[in-house]
Amino acid sequence: MQPSAPPARADLGVPRRVLAAAVIGTVLEWYDFAIYAALATVIGRLFFPSEDPAVSLLVTLGSYAVGFVCRPLGGIVFGRLGDRVGRRSMLAITMVVVGAASLGIGLLPTYATAGVLAPALLVALRMVQGLAVGAEWTGGATFLIEYARTGRRGLCSGIVQASTVAGFLLGTGTATVVVGGLAQDAVDSWAWRLPFLLGGVVAAVGLFVRLRLDESPVFVQAEDAPAPDGRTIRRNWLVLLGVVFGVTLCGYTATSFPAYLAGVTELPLPTALATNVVALAIEVPLIVLAGALSDRVGRKPLMAAALVGFAVGTYPIFLLVTSGTYAGALAGQILFVVLFATVSGPMAAMFVELFPTRVRSTAFSSSYNIGVAVFGGTAPFVNTLLATSTGTPMAPAYYLTFGVVVSLLVLQAVRDRHAEAL
């Protein structure tokens, strides 16, 4: 009887170290963004003080969006680096930058100590972080999915996408413990720093893992491949951008619900954070399941079904989320993340499959990050602005519905390659 192969290779075709490297980096990336969003009201008080709490929140969410402004540039620079020198080297560099920026934020002086220098430094670090994040998720997804064998790329896609939610869950959970377990004076004086400092420690672990990796075999094999067709690449670049529109609106709305609820309803921040943690915990395994299912039925059918669900269900979901009650906020967010898990599980695999290996990192990173910067990074700000300026918490539902309809229409132009080799 022959010995069986290690489970990680037998099921996915992926070495465990590669899986761990992709997951750790993605978790850290979104952990950093989650703690910033979850602590938005605290950061607003400390760095952007105003007599009107809503103004402080809007300015803070604006600085949250600043990190996304740099993502397209980072996606192009680091994505091109990934296509030229390899996925492994690029992922090591982005890990260092993301971790250093998180550590720097945790060590910043506040407005009360340094005046306008404090918010200026905060915005600068957010921009630096955004540069690296521009290629972190797309680079990790590309690296992992290139290792996976045909018929398991959807499962790998679900794993890497679930890692983003796990990062948000870890960040939101950490913020919940800090905000809910300590008095406001303690939070404002020192405790808000702890989640950011922890991010720096996690980055060091992730860097150690990534430096021990081998290069993607698909990348090595494609070094001598002929130049790909530019017309097809440009078409698929635009298709990816269109699909990202509605999907990223939904994703960043789901993860910014705590700040939104605390800002436009009477639900206390600790309660809003708690409901979000429960919803995100439910979402993580559902994303993996959706990714695995897409290996059997295809990427498009699952993603299209979820987008239809969003188009029909966003308004009633927002009625629940903005009800001002714990039960309503929790039920609405659970319905929201079930739909988002279905659309996001197959997403990374579909996007990787759109491009040939020689330009995959650059094309995927640039298109995806432009979409995320324009639509996703601004979603918390736009949602809060729409709700506060119109006087109705339901206003963001119309924006999201429009976005998912656009994505659903563009999705029809995608050729499903779930059963084809890369």
> What pLDDT sits at residue 177?
85
Q: Which of 307, 189, 169 is nearest to 247 (CA)?
A: 307
> What pLDDT sits at residue 85?
87
Total structural domains in the chain?
Answer: 1
pTM of the model: 0.81
> What pLDDT sits at residue 2?
38
Give the tens place of pLDDT for each residue, 259-279.
777 777 778 878 888 888 888
> 420 in a domain, yes or no?
no
> 418 in a domain, yes or no?
no
> 1 in a domain, yes or no?
no
Burial (CB count within 10 angstroms: exposed 0-12, middle 13-18, buried 19+), residue 223: exposed
Q: Which domain holds residue 192?
A: 12-411
> 419 in a domain, yes or no?
no
- The residues, ordered by sequence, that sit 6+ positions from 80 with a Cβ below 8 Å of its Cβ are 361, 362
> 124 in a domain, yes or no?
yes
Give the tens place of pLDDT for each residue, 70-81.
888 888 998 999
Separation of alpha carbons 243 and 351, rounded Å? 10
Please identify every stretch of the chain with a pLDDT value under 70, giving residue numbers as ranges. Answer: 1-13, 51-52, 54-55, 57-58, 61-65, 255
- The residues, ordered by sequence, that sit 6+ positions from 341 with a Cβ below 8 Å of its Cβ are 283, 286, 287, 289, 290
Separation of alpha carbons 50 and 277, rounded Å? 29
Q: How many angstroms from the chain centroid is the CA of residue 167? A: 9
> 6 in a domain, yes or no?
no
H or E element, residue 82: helix 71-84
Separation of alpha carbons 48 and 119, rounded Å? 7
> 3 in a domain, yes or no?
no
> 345 in a domain, yes or no?
yes
CATH code of the domain covering residue 161: 1.20.1250.20
CB 133 within 8 A of CB 98: yes
